[in-house]
């Protein structure tokens, strides 16, 4: 019984694992103890993070203790969330998370330099032009203008290629 009273929950041990181990201890006792005694031992020996948050509850069963502790455990796991690594911090940059707004900012091209040496290095770069509003400085994915239907066959606005009467697709549809 002394070993049971000294057995506390480990820092990385889930409440489910800890309660299962303690249950095995309780079953190995020569004389069974009451659920209230088990509850008292468990409440005293669970990790402090659980004890601090369970103080406001009147716990009357082992099942209730397990349910409440699992809720606390879930909340702790969501608080431990860390944002994904950036491409330059990842071991596999092609598999790293890409933030679209950040990616657009990285694509912006700086204005041409006046010195000749910088023109040599930047000669193959072009200014980014939006396909939606036709204004320079951003791409369509970051454009504030509403999207328009554009035919990729005739390049006119207001319809899609599948409905384009200029490329003959509208006549083929039934």
pLDDT of residue 102: 53
CB 141 within 8 A of CB 130: no
Report DSSP state, residue 17. Answer: H
pLDDT tens digits, one per residue of 21-36: 999 999 999 888 999 9
Per-residue pLDDT at 118: 46
> Which of 13-22, 99-108, 118-127, 131-140 has maximum average pLDDT?
13-22
Q: Select from 1.25.10, 2.20.110, 1.10.1200, 3.40.50 the CATH code of 2-79.
A: 1.10.1200
Residue, of 134 and 170, whose pLDDT is higher = 134
Mean predicted confidence (pLDDT) in 141-163: 82
Would the pTM of this model clear 0.75, i.e. be above it? no
**Mean pLDDT, rounded, for 98-107:** 58
In this prediction, what percent of the chain has a pLDDT beyond 70?
A: 74
The Cα 161–Cα 170 span in angstroms is: 9
Under 8 Å between Cβ of 157 and 173: no
pLDDT category at 173 given cuts 50, 70, 90 is low
Residue with tokens 């009273």: 5
Query: What are the CB-based long-range contacts (under 8 Å, 24+) for 109-116?
Result: none
Q: pLDDT for 49-72, tens place per residue? A: 888 888 888 888 999 999 999 998
Q: Average pLDDT for residues 88-110, to the nearest whole number?
A: 62
- List the domain boundaries for the chain: 2-79, 87-143, 146-174
Q: What percent of the chain has pLDDT over 90?
A: 15
CA distance 34 to 173: 78
């Amino acid at each position: 019984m002394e070993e049971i009273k000294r057995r506390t929950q480990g820092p990385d041990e889930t409440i489910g694992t800890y309660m299962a181990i303690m249950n095995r201890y309780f079953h190995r006792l020569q004389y069974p103890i009451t659920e209230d005694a088990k509850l008292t031992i468990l409440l005293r020996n669970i990790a402090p993070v659980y004890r601090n948050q369970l103080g406001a509850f009147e716990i009357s069963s082992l099942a209730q203790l397990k349910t409440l502790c699992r809720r606390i455990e879930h909340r702790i796991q969501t608080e431990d969330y860390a944002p994904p690594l950036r491409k330059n911090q990842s071991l596999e940059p092609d598999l790293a998370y890409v933030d679209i707004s950040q990616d657009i900012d990285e694509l912006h091209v700086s204005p041409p330099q006046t010195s000749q040496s910088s023109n040599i290095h930047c000669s193959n770069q072009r200014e980014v032009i939006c396909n939606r509003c036709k204004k320079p400085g951003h791409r369509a994915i970051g454009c504030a203008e509403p999207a328009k239907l554009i035919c990729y066959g005739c390049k006119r606005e207001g319809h899609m290629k599948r409905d384009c009467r200029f490329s003959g697709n509208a006549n083929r549809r039934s």
